[in-house]
């Protein structure tokens, strides 16, 4: 199929609708981003389906994106290294995803793109905010996250 002006004009309304739906999904999720301690994540496969790998994780909103620290060998990091940079993210807290009977799927959701964060300044800013958000758990996890980012056993992912 060749691309013509006519075909571009025919696709334009669909692109406008898709952009509006994306903005609505993000607007719906924003209050949950501000109040939730958890997000649920699954990579999107190349065929557009969701991965079987899903999890509830701590996150931090920073500079119009969501940040996660995870083990370098975790499926979230491995998916990104395999070129699977799209992910579905649900915002809220319904407990452990495997025990939720799919309840997390009713939470506000967004399709986002993942990227690896290597900038030490961004990592430091995000970790500081996480420390303020997860004060009790941070006593244990703060050093693990910092040390893991320093030695490469953990990575920081940005979902935007």
Whole-angstrom distance, CA of residue 110 vs CA of residue 114: 12
Sign of the four-CA dihedral 46, 48, 49, 52: positive
pLDDT of residue 135 exceeding 80: yes
Domain of 148 in residue numbering reads as 5-159
Q: Which two tokens stand for residue 111?
A: 């399709």
Predicted confidence at residue 124, as pLDDT, reads 97
Whole-angstrom distance, CA of residue 120 vs CA of residue 104: 32
CATH assignment of the domain containing 150: 2.30.110.10
Whole-angstrom distance, CA of residue 13 vs CA of residue 89: 26
Predicted confidence at residue 35, as pLDDT, reads 65
71-102 pLDDT per residue, tens = 999 988 999 988 999 999 989 887 677 777 77
26-56 pLDDT per residue, tens = 566 665 677 688 898 989 998 988 887 777 8
pTM of the model: 0.78
87: nearest Cα among 67, 111, 103: 111
Whole-angstrom distance, CA of residue 45 vs CA of residue 143: 33
pLDDT of residue 132 exceeding 80: yes
Domain count across the chain? 1
Arithmetic mean of pLDDT, 15-32: 47
**113 near 159, Cβ under 8 Å?**
yes
Gyration radius from the chain CA atoms: 17
Query: What percent of the chain lies above the pLDDT cut of 70?
Result: 79
């Amino acid at each position: 199929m060749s691309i013509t002006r006519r075909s571009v004009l025919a696709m334009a309304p669909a692109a406008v609708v898709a952009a509006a739906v994306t903005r609505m999904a993000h607007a719906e999720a924003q209050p949950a981003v501000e109040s939730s301690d958890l997000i649920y994540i699954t990579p999107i496969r190349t065929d557009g389906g969701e991965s079987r790998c899903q999890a509830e994780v701590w996150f931090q909103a920073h500079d119009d994106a969501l940040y996660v620290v995870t083990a370098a060998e975790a499926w979230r990091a491995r998916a990104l290294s395999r070129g699977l940079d799209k992910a579905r993210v649900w915002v809220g807290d319904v407990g452990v995803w495997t025990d939720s009977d799919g309840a997390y799927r009713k939470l506000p959701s967004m399709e986002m793109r993942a990227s690896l964060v290597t900038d030490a300044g961004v990592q430091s800013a995000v970790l500081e905010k996480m420390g303020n958000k997860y004060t009790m758990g941070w006593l244990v996890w703060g050093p693990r996250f910092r040390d893991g980012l320093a030695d490469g056993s953990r990575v920081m992912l940005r979902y935007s």
